[in-house]
Structure 1
Amino acid sequence: MAQLYFKYGTMNSGKSFEIIKVAHNYEEQGKSVLIFSPAIDTRSGAEQIGSRVGLERPAVPVGDETDIYAYVKNQIAVKAAGHDRIYCVLIDEAQFLKKHHVLQLTRIVDELKIPVMAFGLKNDFRNEIFEGSYYLLAQADKLEEIKTICWYCDRKATMVIRFRDGQPMNQGDQIQIGGNEDYKPVCRRCYNEAFQ
């Protein structure tokens, strides 16, 4: 039975690496997957996802106007002509999705009967939940935390700190694409201590 999975974790928890691994596992068995990633995240280049360990994969960019359901349905028609099918849909950086995208993912699961695995952050650097994450938490059949450790201690990281010029910040625009130079995964205690 197809289900919608939301696998969330902080920065550096291996979410993109996990997508690449899942795609490889399907494809090694001759099973096709579709990978999507928000168009605003171009750190690995346009139409690519990349992990911090250096692995990359092509991905379909998702903009505000993208209808993920229609795209998948069209790909099913193309695959059917070649007697193949889509076995799984994978979403990177799912926190950047909009409500309508998440509802499209539920239709892929419920109507097209294809499992969807969405990977992303739950909360931002201000400790507020992203729009995509909010609706995935509400709509997902299964939730799974991908864990990593705090940058400063040995506790589990549950938050992120944004830095500007080496200084921690908890004000500003929610979305600012960046990597290790801009964000660090931290536990709640280290997060709170950074702003005392």
Structure 2
Amino acid sequence: MTDWTRRKFAAAALATPFLVRPAAAQILDPAFEEDLAQERRETGAVRRNISSFRTQRWQDHFDRLGRSTIVCDTESRCLHYWSADGSDYRIYPTSVPRTNELTKRGYTEVVRKRVGPDWTPTQSMLEADPTLSYMPPGPGNPLGTHAMYLSWPAYLIHGTHDTRKIGRRSSSGCIGLYNEKIEELYGLCPVGTQVRII
């Protein structure tokens, strides 16, 4: 090994801990850290891209809580949940709309919930792909196992059977979560949950 190679190796070895720390420092929610650790123990890997997650404050989006509250951050691709009294704060990785044109931003609320949702493509989806058709509940359904319908027509927070979509711009306008995470969120959020998509 030449002196130049030894120096290069030593510099890289010294720099490595500093390159790894910023991503780890961004995980601020202990429950989320435990979730990642559990996934690492079970699968040997973590499927989520957590490097862009940012914590949010509900006060920056709503005047008050009083009921469950959700903020969907399409930029960092995560959903923030607060319980009615603010004591429970959770962050979930999500899929987000493929383009800004498909992304609706603003205030809405959960108006309906369904376990085992069926799926009907919208008119714009059929124009883009005429082969799409109605799908009953089941493993091939793009809405996954649970769905929460928003006051905006055809916009939902739902699960997905295709876990590759999470953390990516992959939806036609909806916010998607892992099936096990939407099941958890579904249990926490009553109809009337206030939602903001940013």
Structures share fold, TM-score greater than 0.5 = no
Larger gyration radius, structure 1 or structure 2: 2
Which structure is higher in RCO with an 8 Å CA cutoff and minimum separation 6? 1
TM range (shorter): under 0.3
